[in-house]
Amino acid sequence: MKKTTTTLASLAIAASAAAHSTAIPHTHSGWEINWQTVFTGVAALLVSGVALAAYRNAKRRQK
């Protein structure tokens, strides 16, 4: 369970970092989340998930 929580936290941090390092405008004001913010967050989570899966596969092959 601890590993799953750590993984989810890492993905959330990666999504936040990606949203703040892209040129796509996004908002933090109240409930006014625009589609660009949603798209950026989803894309960041997908990329993070793929990277994590690739890392785990590479680590598994080394054993």
Q: Residue 18 in contact with residue 36, Cβ under 8 Å?
A: no
Task: Please tell me the predicted confidence (pLDDT) of residue 9.
Answer: 72
Per-residue pLDDT at 60 exceeds 60: yes
Per-residue pLDDT at 41: 76
- Cα separation, 61 vs 63, in Å, equals 5
Whether residue 53 has pLDDT greater than 80: yes
Could you write out the DSSP letters of every residue in 31-60?
T---HHHHHHHHHHHHHHHHHHHHHHHHHH
Contact 32, 62 (CB under 8 A): no
Mean pLDDT of 5-32: 67
CA dihedral of residues 41, 55, 50, 46 (deg, nearest 10): -10
Model confidence at 38: pLDDT above 60: yes
Q: What is the value of pTM for the model shown?
A: 0.48
